[in-house]
């Protein structure tokens, strides 16, 4: 038993950006030969779709953008496809990064590269990345990741970067993230309330954005 890859498009037309997801395939004898695999990291979650549509409308294409905990990287691939100057897709899962890399190569997105980053213990990696915008979508799988993401968020904001974070309303761990942000003094950078994307002014999103979504209302590009 192993994995097979499937294309998932942002929209259902030929020119749409797309990514790969993995599915269990009983007809494949050997799994992808890479360590540290978390199957959840190879799926496209509703927040990634919401982030992709939002970013298309709000990202300045001159920015250097970094997606933290990218999984299969649909937001990263979307903004690279849209012509963003430089995009870095990061995750701790090596299979997910290989999937992003393969999708980028097949779409000839030379403005996108991948990088291994562990949200639970690598705040110093931002010194190397130095992005204008950091993106996270539904990365809060446990409290350790939530706390680590909060420290990375503060470091990014203190350096003058933006942080836009997307999470479903039923993700309990996002509360740990916000509590830690509040403890670290993040309120000076923007509201710590989760807001729906259609309630955010289009002419200048805040430095810190916490974007809420209900998966029932997510645009699946049909």
Instruction: Match 């200048």 to its residue by tokens.
Output: 204
Higher pLDDT pick, 220 / 175:
175
Per residue in 132-160, pLDDT (tens digit) is: 999 999 999 899 999 999 999 999 999 99
Label the pairing between strands 18-25 and 2-9: antiparallel
Encode pLDDT of 9-67 as tens digits: 999 888 999 999 988 665 655 554 444 567 778 889 999 999 999 999 999 999 999 99
pLDDT above 50 (res 118): yes
Name the superfamily (CATH) of residues 2-217. Vaccinia Virus protein VP39 (3.40.50.150)
Report the alpha-carbon distance of residue 69 to residue 78 in Å, rounded.
16
| Residue 216, burial from CB neighbour count under 10 angstroms (0-12, 13-18, 19+) | exposed
The mean pLDDT value for 202-220 works out to 78
């Amino acid at each position: 038993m192993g994995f097979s890859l499937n294309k998932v498009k942002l929209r259902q037309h030929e020119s749409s950006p797309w990514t790969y997801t993995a599915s269990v395939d009983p007809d494949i004898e050997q799994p992808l030969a890479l360590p540290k695999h978390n199957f959840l990291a190879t799926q496209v979650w509703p927040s990634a779709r919401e982030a992709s549509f939002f970013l298309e409308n709000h990202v300045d294409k001159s920015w250097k953008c970094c997606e933290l905990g990218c999984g299969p990287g649909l937001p990263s691939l979307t903004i690279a496809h849209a012509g963003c100057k430089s995009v870095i897709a990061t995750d701790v899962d090596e299979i997910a990064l290989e999937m992003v890399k393969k999708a980028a190569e097949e779409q000839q997105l030379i403005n996108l590269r991948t990088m291994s980053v562990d949200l639970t213990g690598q705040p110093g990696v931002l010194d190397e990345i130095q992005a204008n915008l950091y993106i996270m979508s539904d990365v809060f799988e446990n409290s350790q990741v939530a706390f680590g993401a909060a420290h990375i968020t503060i470091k990014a904001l203190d350096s003058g970067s933006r942080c836009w974070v997307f999470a479903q309303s039923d993700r309990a761990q996002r509360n740990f993230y916000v509590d830690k942000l509040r403890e670290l003094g993040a309120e000076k950078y923007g509201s710590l309330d989760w807001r729906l994307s259609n309630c955010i002014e289009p002419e200048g999103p805040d430095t810190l954005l916490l974007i809420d979504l209900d998966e029932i209302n997510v645009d699946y590009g049909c």
